[in-house]
Structure formats: C-alpha cells, structure tokens
Amino acid sequence: MVLTTTSSIDAMPLALAEVPDPEPGPGEVVIRVGACAACRTDLQLCEGDLQPRLLPIIPGHQVAGRIAAVGPGVNDWAEGDRAGLTWLAGTCGDCPFCRSGRENLCATATFTGWDRHGGFAEMVAARADVVVPLPEGPADRDLAPLLCGGVIGFRALRVAGITPGARVGLFGFGASALQAIQVARHMGCRIAVATRSEDERRRALSLGAEWAGGYDEPPPFPLDLAVTFAPSGDVVAHALRALDRGGTVAINAIHLDRLPEMDYADLWWERAIRSVANVTREDARDYLDLAAQIPVITAVEEHALPDANRALQRIATGDVQGAAVIIPGPS
C-alpha cells in the first residue's frame, strides 16, 4: 500500500500497487511480512501532520515476520529466522548520542515507513543491525503491536520515571496504553486512566486501573508520573495538574496539536514535562523480554492489506478496540 500524496484519510490516500520484491543490499535483510500493526503515526504521515520525507513511500513500522533473504556481510541472521522491525531504521552509530546509549536522538537517524519503505507490504528490506529477534510461539498478529505501541509506551514509562509501586496516570487508552497498563500492574503500581470513552474506562478498570474517568476529572490520588497518549496539548495540561510535587508528564506523541497556555503554578514544585522521541534497540530488546515475562496480552483487529486505509480511518475515529493489524494477502 503506497502513499503518493498526503490527504485526509477519508480520501483513502494509500493505493494498492505491485512493486518489485526488495533485494537486500550490503548489511541488509529482507523480511517476509506476517503482520504489520498500524498506529497513529502512520495516520499522521498519510494526512500530512507528519511531513513525508520520501514519496512515494510504503508506511508501516511494526513488522513481525521471518527473514526471506540475507545481504552481503550479514552473519547474525539466516533465512527463516523470526524477525521484527520497529520505527528505528538506522543511526550513524558515531555521534555523542549514539555513543551514550541515546541513539533515538541521533540527528541522522532514519525511520521505518518514513525514510525508507515499511511493512504495509508483503516484503520489506531493512538494515540487519536494527532488526530484532522475535520469540517462537506467539502469532505474528500478536507480536506486531509490541514493536511500536508497546516499545514506545514502555520507553514513555521509563522517561516519566516509573518505579515499583508508583502512582501512574495514563491519559488516553488506545493500543499503546493497553500494553503500558500491563507493565505498570506488573510493577505493582496504582493506576489512574483518563479517557473520553466509556468503553475504554470499563476496559481500564478490568485491567487493573484503580480509577478511570474523563480528562477534565482529577484522579482521586495525586500522581507520581503520567503518560499522555492523545495528540492533544489540552490533555498534557490536564495530566500536569494531576501530578504530585516532583512528578513528570511524558508526552508519548510524535505530533501534538499545540501546547496551551498553562498556569505556572501547575508546573511549580519541580514538576516536569518530557517528550518521548523514538525508541532504541535496547528499548525493543528489554520490552520484548519483559512482555514475555508478564506476559503482555494484545487485543488486535485484523485488516487485509488492501484495507489499510480503513484501518487508519478506524484509528482516526477511535473505533479500534486494541491495535489495528495489517495482514498481507487478498481482501
């Protein structure tokens, strides 16, 4: 499914096309896609909120599948190996950020489905050093949502400073938060969830949240940390006001509509706002290990490859229950 021109998702900007099978270059592999989860970043790319870096482009950056071909110089992968692909498509490896374990901040980093073709396809080529091993057992459709929504939610909790037993707020309750709540519960945290949807509030309570309410409702206890998943600056303001002294809000979004004017008193007492930018290979490895221990359970809604526009439409309207997952094959 190829994006040639950005437009409203209702105009169905992704078009089904046949392209040559990718060939692995030096240091690359080709993955045969078993499933590719869709996320709001794909929607924002298609609609132009996230400016394309390459057109035409095949979106999709949560790939679960198997190695189909190995390029020259690749010794760590073999055909048939279970493999996953995340948002991170490559880094320079030599800048101060890369050398200090912060490759997510590399100024020349590239990203799957943005700088190079992604997983809304039957096959995808990738740098071998960013591909992550996947465990045998779980289905591709269940592993794919771990590779962006899961990993970035896990990183957001880390950035916000999660500790065992902390009081955690999740503002928005889509596919990423559905995994983050399981991590927080595993760590014995008290959890408050804010969301517009009554169905999502009920689901949050069933998954162990102590409280679930609307964005403008204060949780019944002050929060040590909060993660915002909705791409709205107003939600950030609500989360900030719910923090205890010294707490942190981590914004889990690559695009935010704006940051509204806020009273400095809401930030006073060493409260903090942090953005969450991309992921590292270490994030992916650590989260996959933790997800297997918990184990993290994903809720998925399957869509055939030609129906990728429809999957993104459902993300836009908030109708997806869990994660929308694209399965290559006919509709």
Q: What pLDDT, on the 0 to 100 scale, is given for residue 253? A: 87
CA atoms within 13 A on the CB side of 132: 30
Within the chain, residue ranges assigned H as helices are 40-47, 96-99, 140-143, 149-160, 175-186, 198-206, 233-241, 264-267, 281-293, 308-317
How far, in Å, CA of 260 to CA of 203, rounded? 29
* Residue 41 to residue 59: CA distance in whole angstroms: 9
**What are the sequence ranges of the domains in the chain?**
2-148+297-327, 150-275
33 three-state secondary structure: strand
Q: What is the pLDDT of residue 331?
A: 43
DSSP element (H, E) containing 331: none
Amino acid in position 190: R
Cβ atoms within 10 Å of 78's Cβ, excluding its own: 10
CATH of domain 2-148+297-327: 3.90.180.10
Token pair of 9, please? 């998702």
Residues 150-275, CATH architecture = 3-Layer(aba) Sandwich (3.40)
Per-run averaged pLDDT (10 residues), the chain, 331 residues? 97 96 97 96 94 96 97 97 97 97 97 97 97 94 94 97 98 93 98 95 96 96 97 95 98 89 94 96 96 93 96 92 85 43
> Could you tell me whether strands 123-127 and 132-133 are parallel, antiparallel, or unpaired per DSSP bridges?
unpaired
The first and second tokens of residue 273, run together, are 């706002």
